Structure 1
């Protein structure tokens, strides 16, 4: 074990802090300005912000669970009712995004099962495969071939064409 440290290389710190030598009896202007700023600007702003944050924390809105009321479809809108057209279009877009997310979730479940089961996924993931096939079939029957500029009116026309084709085949 080495001996004590070299006192010349590492001197001991002074035991007491030296007192500040005041050159004048006037108060420090920096201290006066900082106190003035604190009491005139910082304290009122901070108090106001804390009060607002307190009110907001009691009335916290949850945006990721926003629920929209259902509006009439395009078929139920009166002719020339542009507000109804707009609301129906926005509802169709929300439904479209929800259906896309449903397909993504089912696809992720299928991929996770395939990853987990390895080569025997055909047998062990039959339920997930069947569910994925049903969801994609329904998604494509509703939204397939609408193109990049899909909207509620195009989707409605596609649905009408599908219904007319089904009636023509059954007749």
Structure 2
């Protein structure tokens, strides 16, 4: 068992705090100003902030309803176009963050393992290659002004190219 600590080295703290000794009977004017400020400015604002926090929803808990992509919008449905555009921007930001997180994990593993990071970080490197390739396939070559429509056209072009390559390859087999 543990021994009792040495009382000479570890003295006990005082049990009671000494009471303040006022020097004069005249009240301090700063105390009066402080009380006036608390009751006129600070207290009403505090009750309002407490009332607002009860119904507050935090941004990272915000749930967006599922928006269909641009292909399902009707021809003159501009609201659907706008919603699909905003959904595409949110998806792009989420995918950018995924790439950043995987890249940070790879960097941490590389720094941690040192010279042997080629063997020990092979899984992280492979995951980063997959994520970066998927991001580049979807959002690459869109430029600074990429939007949902350009991304959709790029996807359609890629699908047409894959289909024609499959047809051409079947002819030569």
TM-score by length of 2: 0.73
Q: 1:56 to 1:142 in 2, by over 3 A?
A: same
Show structure 2 runs of 5+ residues with no match.
1-22, 168-173
Quote the Cα distance in structure 1 between the aligned partners of 2:125 and 2:139: 21
Quote the Cα distance in structure 1 between the aligned partners of 2:51 and 2:116: 57
Cα offset for 1:56?
Answer: 2.0
Q: 1:54 to 1:164 in 2, by over 3 A?
A: same
1:69 to 65, 68, 71: 65
Instruction: Indicate the SS of the match to 1:60.
Output: coil
2:77 to 73, 77, 81: 81
State which drifts further: 63-72 or 92-101.
63-72
Q: Is 1:161 aligned to residue 161 of structure 2?
A: no
Cα offset for 1:144?
Answer: 0.8
Quote the Cα distance in structure 1 between the aligned partners of 2:97 and 2:25: 70
Question: How many residue pairs get matched?
Answer: 140
Quote the Cα distance in structure 2 between the aligned partners of 1:108 and 1:120: 18
User: Which residue does 1:103 correspond to in 2?
Assistant: 99
Quote the Cα distance in structure 2 between the aligned partners of 1:98 and 1:110: 19
1:121 to 117, 120, 125: 117
Quote the Cα distance in structure 1 between the aligned partners of 2:25 and 2:134: 84
User: Which residue does 2:53 correspond to in 1?
Assistant: 57
Quote the Cα distance in structure 2 between the aligned partners of 1:49 and 1:19: 33
2:138 to 142, 146, 158: 142
Instruction: Indicate the SS of the match to 1:50.
Output: helix
User: Which residue does 2:171 correspond to in 1?
Assistant: none
Quote the Cα distance in structure 1 between the aligned partners of 2:64 and 2:87: 8
Pairwise CA RMSD:
2.3
TM-score by length of 1: 0.74
Quote the Cα distance in structure 2 between the aligned partners of 1:72 and 1:18: 75
**Max radius of gyration: which structure?**
1
Quote the Cα distance in structure 2 between the aligned partners of 1:141 and 1:133: 12
